[in-house]
Structure 1
Amino acid sequence: MTKSAPKLTEPAPIDIAVICYPGSQATCIHGVTDLFTYADYFARQQSSASRTFVRITHWRPAAADGRLECVFDSRPGPLGRPTVVVVPASQLAPITRGHSPESNTWLVSRHAEGAIVAAVCGGVFVLADSGLLAGRRATTHWMFADELQRRHPELTIEADRLVIDDGDLVTAGGVLAWADMGLSLVERLLGTAVMRATARFMLIDPPGREQRYYSDFTPHLQHGDKAVLAAQHWLQAHAPAPFSIAALAGHAGLGARTFLRRFVKATGLTPSEYHQQLRIARGRELLERTQDPVDRVAAAAGYEDSGGFRRSFKRLVGLSPGEYRRRFQGGRRPQCTAD
C-alpha cells in the first residue's frame, strides 16, 4: 500500500489587530484595514500559494467588564495572538491621560506576547500612557509634539520624523501617516515587492517622506517671560533683517548673558536658530506663492548668499528649495511623485 504524503499545515496569516478605543479616528481604522487588505491581495498575486496572508481584526473595550472584544474579523475563526497591534489616531486633539485604561492593559499584554505595537498621531499618547514607550524614541503629529513631551518627559521626541520604526514599537506622525506606517510594516512583513504594489495601487508614495516637509515653524510664545516675548515680537516684525545679540537684549531690557540664558530656556532655541527659522518660514511662503527665482526668494528672506539659503533650507526642511516648490506650489499638499 502506498502511503499518502503528509498534509502540509498552512502557515498562519499575519494578524493585524486594530484597537478602536473611544474617540479613535474612523479614517485611520478603515484606512489601515483597507491597506492591509490590498497587501494581502498582492501577496497572493505574487505567490503560487492560494492562501490568506493577512488577517485584520478590530477590538473595542466592552462596556460590561472592561475587556477588549473582537468586533470585526476579516477571516472569522479562532483568535490567536496578533502580530501587530495598531493604535489609531484620535479625533482632532490628543486624548486625556487615563482615557482608555482597558486599551493600555491590553497593549501591554499583547506586547509581552511578542506583538509589534504601532501607533499613529494622537494614538501615540495612548501608547505612551501604557508605559511601553518609556525611555524610547517616538514621533507624533508636529502640532502635538510639545504636549507629548510635557506629559512624558522620559521620551525622546523626534517630531521631524514621519515614521520611527524602533523594532517592537512603531510611531507615526500626522493624521494620515497611517499610510506610511502601514507600508513600512507591509515591507517588513511581506517584502518590498508587495509594499510597492500596494503603494502604486493606493497612489501614495512609498515610505521615505519626513514630517518636517509639512510642519510650519510655530514659535513658543506662552512661556510667561515678558522680556523674551518682547524680543520675539521684534524678531517676528523684522525677521529678514540681521540683528545683534546686544540690540535684541536691549529690546528685552536685559543684559546679553541673561537674555541668552532666558531666551533659550523660553523658546528652546538660540536667537540665531530662532531667527533662521523665521527666515526659512518666509522663504517657504514665497516658494509656495510666487514664481520668483530662488536667488530672489533668498534675498527676500534675508540671505545675501543664495547658496547659504539653499543649504539652510535643505537642513531645516529636508528638501531643496526647488523640490519644495514642486511639491507645494500654490499651497497644495505634496503630490505623489516617483522621487
Structure 2
Amino acid sequence: MPRIAIVISDGVLMSGVFEIADALSLANRYTDQQYSAREDLPPTLEVRLASAGGEPVRAENGRVLAADEALRGSAFDMVHVAPFAVGRPEDLGERLAAMADVVDWITECGSVGTRLAASGSGVAVLARAGILNDVTVPVAWWLERPMRRLFPHLTLDPERAITAHDAVLLAGRHVAEPALAIRMVEQLMSPDVATWIERISGVNAYPDGPDPAHVFTTLVLKPDELVARAAHWLQLRFAQKPQMADLSAVMAVHPRTLNRRFVASLGMTPVEYLQRLRIEAAKRMLARSDRRVDRIGYLVGYGDPGFFKALFRKATGLTPSEYRRQVREGLISP
C-alpha cells in the first residue's frame, strides 16, 4: 500500500492540504468500486499528515490541525509539501530557515528516490533542499522575485501551472493544486483512476497542455454529444462487464441506433470502444506492475485468459508478456 505524507507546518493553507487529501480519498473509492469485486484490494493509498515532530500546527486561518505522525517516523512513497503563509514575499528566506528540519528531511527523501511534490510556497522548500536544480520551476507571481534572489541558479517560470520532472511534481499556484492532485494519483496508482477523477471533478490535469501518452483518445470523425456521454459511461465501468443493453437503456436509444452513431462518430462500435479501453488499461498495468498476465486480464474485464491474450495481440501485435518486456527494456513506449 503506497504511503503518502502531506507535510504541514505553522501557517499551512488548509485548502492546499485537503485538495490533495480529498483527491487521494476519491482515488481509493474509485479503486474499490471498480476492482473490489475482482480482486480483494485494501484501500490503495494511505495518506498521513506529518509535521516536523508530530506536533499539531496552527493553520493560516487560525485553526489547529493535528498531525498523524512526525516526519522521521517512517518511510513514504511520496511526500507532498503543502503551501504555507509567508507574510511579506521578502520574508521567504527567514521562513525557510525556520523550516530547516523539514528541508533536511526533504533532502534525505530526494537522495533515496522518494517521489516529491509541492505547491505554492511549498515549492521553495524543495528548492532549498536542492531538489530542483534541473527542473523548470513553476512559481507564483508574487514569489518570483524572492525566489530569484534566493535561488539565482534555478529556471523559474511564473506562466507555468505544473511541472512534472522524473520523480518531482510541482504546482506554482494554489489554483493548480486540483490538477496536481490528479497528477499525483496518475503516478501513484494509474492513469485510469486519474482520468476518472478528472472527469467527475471537471479539473484539467494538464493545464499547460495535454500529455497524450497518458490518455486514451480516438479520432472523432463527427462530434456527437450522445456518443460522448456513452463513452464516459463506459470509461467509468469498463472493468465491471457493462452490458450494451444497459448502456442503451441509460442513453434511452435503441442498440442499433447507438451502434450506428458510435461508428459515425468514432469509427468503432461501443463493444470495440470498450475493448480498447480495456486493452489500454491492461497496457498500463503491464508497464507499471508485476501482476500476472492472467490476473491483469481478469481485472480489466476478461474472465478467459486466452481471449484476453488474443485480443491484446490483435490490438498491439505483441503478446502481453512481450509487451511488458519491451516496455521495460525501453524498446517501446508504454
SS in 2 for 1:62: coil
For 1:237-278, what per-residue CA distance to the aligned partner results, in whole angstroms no more than 9, with x for missing partners? xxxxxxxxxxxxxxxxxxxxxxxxxxxxxxxxxxxxxxxxxx
Q: Distance in 1 between matches of 2:3 and 2:175?
A: 22
Higher helix share: 2
Q: Distance in 2 between matches of 1:136 and 1:187?
A: 20
**Aligned counterparts, 1:64-213, within 5 A:** 71-72=67-68, 80-91=74-85, 93=87, 95=92, 96-201=95-200, 203-210=201-208
Q: Distance in 1 between matches of 2:111 and 2:34?
A: 33
Task: Tell me, yes or no, if the aligned pair for 1:196 and 1:206 is still in contact at 8 Å.
Answer: no
Q: Are 1:18 and 2:9 an aligned pair?
A: no
Q: Distance in 1 between matches of 2:124 and 2:104?
A: 14
Task: Tell me, yes or no, if the aligned pair for 1:98 and 1:129 is still in contact at 8 Å.
Answer: no
Tell me the equivalent position of 1:277: none
Of 30, 39, 46, the match for 2:34: 46
SS in 2 for 1:144: helix
Q: Are 1:57 and 2:51 an aligned pair?
A: no
Q: Distance in 2 between matches of 1:41 and 1:80?
A: 25
TM-score computed with the length of structure 2 as normaliser: 0.52
SS in 2 for 1:98: helix
Quick check: which has more Rg, 1 or 2? 1
Q: Distance in 2 between matches of 1:24 and 1:101?
A: 16
For 1:69-89, what per-residue CA distance to the aligned partner results, in whole angstroms no more than 9, with x for missing partners? x9327xxxxx75211100111
For 1:217-241, what per-residue CA distance to the aligned partner results, in whole angstroms no more than 9, with x for missing partners? xxxxxxxxxxxxxxxxxxxxxxxxx
The structural deviation recorded for 1:46 is 2.1
The structural deviation recorded for 1:187 is 1.5
Q: Distance in 2 between matches of 1:205 and 1:178?
A: 10
The structural deviation recorded for 1:178 is 1.7
Task: State the Cα RMSD in Å.
Answer: 2.3
AA at the equivalent of 2:9: Y
Q: Distance in 1 between matches of 2:121 and 2:178?
A: 15
The structural deviation recorded for 1:92 is 5.9
Paired residue total: 188
AA at the equivalent of 1:84: M
Percentage of matched positions with identical amino acids: 19
TM-score computed with the length of structure 1 as normaliser: 0.51
AA at the equivalent of 2:3: D
Structure 2: give runs of 5+ residues left out of the alignment.
56-65, 210-334
Tell me the equivalent position of 1:36: 24
Q: Are 1:27 and 2:15 an aligned pair?
A: yes
